[in-house]
Structure 1
Amino acid sequence: MMALFQSFRTMCLLLAGFAVICQAEISSIKAVEEYKTVIPGQTVTLECRAPGGFPLAGVEWIRRELTKENVFFCSPGEKPNLETQHPSFKNRVELEDGDMTDGNVSVILKNVTSNDTGTYECHVIPETTHEKRSAFDTDPIKIIHLNVSQPVEEYKTVIPGQTVTLECRAPGGFPLAGVEWIRHELTKENVFFCSPGEKPNLETQHPSFKNRVELEDGDMTYGNVSVILKNVTSNDTGTYECHVIPETTHEKRSAFDTDPIKIIHLNVSQPGDTEDEDHGVWWLLAVAVAAAAAAAVIGVVVVVGFVMRCIQKRTHSSIY
Structure 2
Amino acid sequence: MMSVPAPRSCPPLPSLLLTLLLKFTGTSDQEFQVTQPESSVSVRAGEILTLSCNVSARSPAGPVLWFRENAQERKLIYNFNGGQFPRVTQVENTEFNQTDYSIRISNVSPKDVGTYYCVKLTIAHPDMSYVSGSGTVVSVNGTTQEIFQVQQAEMTQTVSVGETITLSCSVPDSFPKGPVLWFKGNGPNRELIYNFKEDAGTYYCMKFKEGKPNTEFQSGPGTKVFVTRNQFAPGAPEKHLMTMRGTKLRKNLL
Superposition TM-score, scaled by structure 1 size: 0.30
Superposition TM-score, scaled by structure 2 size: 0.37
Say which structure is richer in helix: 1
Say which structure is richer in strand: 2
